[in-house]
Chains A and B, each alone.
Chain A
Amino acid sequence: MKQLNRREFLKFGALVAGGAALASCAPAAPAPQQPAEAPKATEAPKAAAPAAGAQKLEIFSWWTSGGEIEALNGLFEVYKKRYPGVEIVNAALAGGTSSGGNMKAVLQTRMMGGDPPESFQVHLGGELIGTYVKAGQMEPLDFLYKEEGWDKVFPAELIEIASYEGKPWSVPVNIHRSNMMWYNKKMLADVGAEPPKTWDEWFVLAEKLKAKGQPTLAIAESGAGFTAHVFETMMIPVLGPEDFKGLFTGKTSWEDKRIATALEILKKALDYANADFLNVSWGDVNQLMVAGKVAMIIQGDWTPGVLWSLKFQDFGWAPAPGNEGIYQMLSDSFGLPKKVKNREAAINWLRVCGSKEGQDAFNPAKGSIPARTDADITKYSEYHKWAMEHWKKDKLVPSIVHGAAAPVSFMTDFMNAINVFATKKNVEETQAALVKAAKDAGFQK
Chain B
Amino acid sequence: MAAPANAPRRRALRFRGDLALAIVVLTPSIVAVAIFIYFFIAYTFYVSVVKWPTLLPDYTFVGLKNWINMFQDMRFRIDMRNLVLYALGFMTQCIVIGFLLASLLDQKIKSEALFRTIFIFPFAVSGIVTGVVWRWLMYPSAGLNQLFSLVGLDFLKSKWYTDPTWGILAVTIASAWQFSGYVMALYLAGLRGISHELKEAAAIDGANTWQLYRRIIIPLLAPVTFTAVVLTGMGSIRVFDIPAVLGTGAAFSTDALAFHMFQLTFQSNKMSSGAVIASVMIILAGFLVGPYLASLQLEESQ
Give chain A's interface residues, CB within 8 Å of chain B. Answer: 6-7, 10-11, 13-15, 17-18, 21, 99-101, 104-105, 108, 111-112, 130-132, 134-137, 221-224, 276, 278-279, 281, 407-409, 411-413, 416, 419-420, 422-424, 429, 433, 440
Q: Is B122 an interface residue (CB 8 A)?
A: no
Contacts of B159 in A (CB 8 A): 279
Within 8 A of A (CB), among B107-136: none
**Chain B residues near A224 (CB-CB < 8 A):** 248
Q: Do the beta carbons of A101 and B266 come within 8 Å of each other?
A: yes
Which residues of A lie under 8 Å from residue B270 when comparing CB positions?
409
B301 beta carbon closer than 8 Å to chain A: no
- A281 nearest CB neighbor, chain B only: B247
Contact status B252-A409, CB under 8 Å: no
Q: Which A residues lie within 8 Å of B1 (CB)?
A: 14, 18, 21
The interface residues of chain A lying within 8 Å CB-to-CB of B266 are: 101, 104-105, 108
Structural contact, B250 and A222, CB atoms closer than 8 A: yes
**Within the complex, which residue of A11, A420, A429 is in contact with B6, where a contact is CB–CB below 8 Å?**
A11
- B247 in contact with A222 (CB, 8 Å): yes
The CA-CA distance from A99 to B2 in the complex, in Å, is 49
A276 to B164, CA, bound (A): 11
A423 and B249 alpha carbons, distance in the complex (Å): 10
Task: Please state if A105 and B55 are interface contacts (CB–CB under 8 Å).
Answer: no
A420 & B10 in contact (Cβ 8 Å cutoff): no
CB distance from A76 to the nearest CB of B (A): 28
- B140 contacts the other chain (CB 8 A): yes
A18-B1, A136-B56, A412-B263 are known contacts. Are A10 and B6 too (CB-CB below 8 A)?
A: yes
Query: Are B250 and A412 interface neighbours, CB within 8 A?
Result: no
- Is B87 interfacial (CB-CB < 8 Å)? no
Nearest B residue to A20 by beta-carbon distance?
B28
Minimum CB distance partner of A104 in chain B? B267
Q: Interface SS of chain A: helix, strand, loop or mixed?
A: helix
Q: How far is the CB of A267 from chain B (nearest CB, A)?
A: 14
Q: Does B44 contact A (CB under 8 A)?
A: no
The number of residue pairs between A and B whose CB atoms lie closer than 8 Å in the complex comes to 106
Contact with A along B155-191 (1 / 0, CB 8 A): 0000100101000000000000000000000000000
Given A281-B247, A416-B75: A14 touches B10 (CB 8 Å cut-off): no
Q: Is the CB of B9 within 8 A of A409?
A: no
From A10, A11, A134, A420, contact of B56 by CB (8 A): A134
Residues of B in contact with A, size category? 20 to 34
Known contacts A101-B266, A131-B55: A10-B13 contact under CB 8 Å: yes
CB-defined contacts of A276 to chain B, threshold 8 Å: 140
- Per-residue contact bits, chain B 22-33, to A (CB 8 Å; 1 contact, 0 not): 001000000000
> A131–B252 Cα gap in the complex (Å)?
25
Q: Mark B236-255, 1 if CB is under 8 A from A, else 0.
A: 00000000100111111000
Shortest B82–chain A CB gap in Å is 14
Our pick among B10, B247, B250 for the contact of A423 (Cβ within 8 Å) is: B250
Q: A135: which B residues are within 8 A, CB to CB?
A: 54-56
- Output the least CB separation between B92 and chain A (Å): 26
- B21, CB-defined interface residue at 8 Å: yes
Chain B 206-263 residues near chain A, CB threshold 8 A: 244, 247-252, 263
Q: How far is the CB of A445 from chain B (nearest CB, A)?
A: 15
Which residues on the A side are within 8 Å of B268 (C-beta)?
408-409, 411-413
Q: Which of A221, A409, A423, A429 contacts B53 (CB 8 A)?
A: A409
Q: How many angstroms from the CA of A159 to the CA of B92 in the assembled complex?
A: 58
Q: A10-B13, A13-B24 are in contact. Are A408 and B252 (CB under 8 A)?
A: no
Q: How far is the CB of A404 from chain B (nearest CB, A)?
A: 16
Contact A408 B269 (CB under 8 A): yes
Instruction: List A contacts of B74 (CB < 8 A).
Output: 416, 420, 429, 433
Q: Are B269 and A409 in contact (CB under 8 A)?
A: yes
User: In the assembly, what is the distance between CA of A130 and CA of B270, in Å?
Assistant: 11
Task: Give the interface centre of A99, A111, A276, A281 by most chain B CB atoms within 10 Å.
Answer: A99
Could you tell me the distance between the alpha carbons of A99 and B263 in the complex, rounded to whole angstroms? 8
6 closest A-B pairs by beta carbon, nearest first, are: A423-B251, A278-B250, A279-B162, A135-B56, A409-B268, A135-B55
Is residue B5 contacting chain A, with contact meaning CB distance below 8 A?
yes
CB distance from B57 to the nearest CB of A (A): 9
Within 8 A of A (CB), among B1-54: 1-2, 5-6, 9-10, 13, 21, 24, 53-54
Having A135-B55, A419-B252, one finds 18 other A-B pairs with CB under 8 Å, namely A10-B13, A14-B1, A14-B9, A18-B2, A105-B266, A105-B267, A112-B55, A131-B269, A135-B54, A278-B250, A408-B267, A409-B270, A412-B264, A413-B268, A416-B74, A419-B251, A420-B75, A440-B53
Asked if A223 meets B54 with Cβ closer than 8 Å, knowing A14-B9, A131-B269, the reply is no
Give the one of A279, A408, A412, A423 with max B CB within 10 A. Answer: A279
B residues within 8 A CB of A419?
248, 250-252
Pair B248/A130 contact, Cβ less than 8 Å: no
A222 surroundings in chain B (CB, below 8 A): 162, 247, 249-250
Known: A105-B267, A132-B55, A409-B270. A223 touches B162 (CB 8 A): no
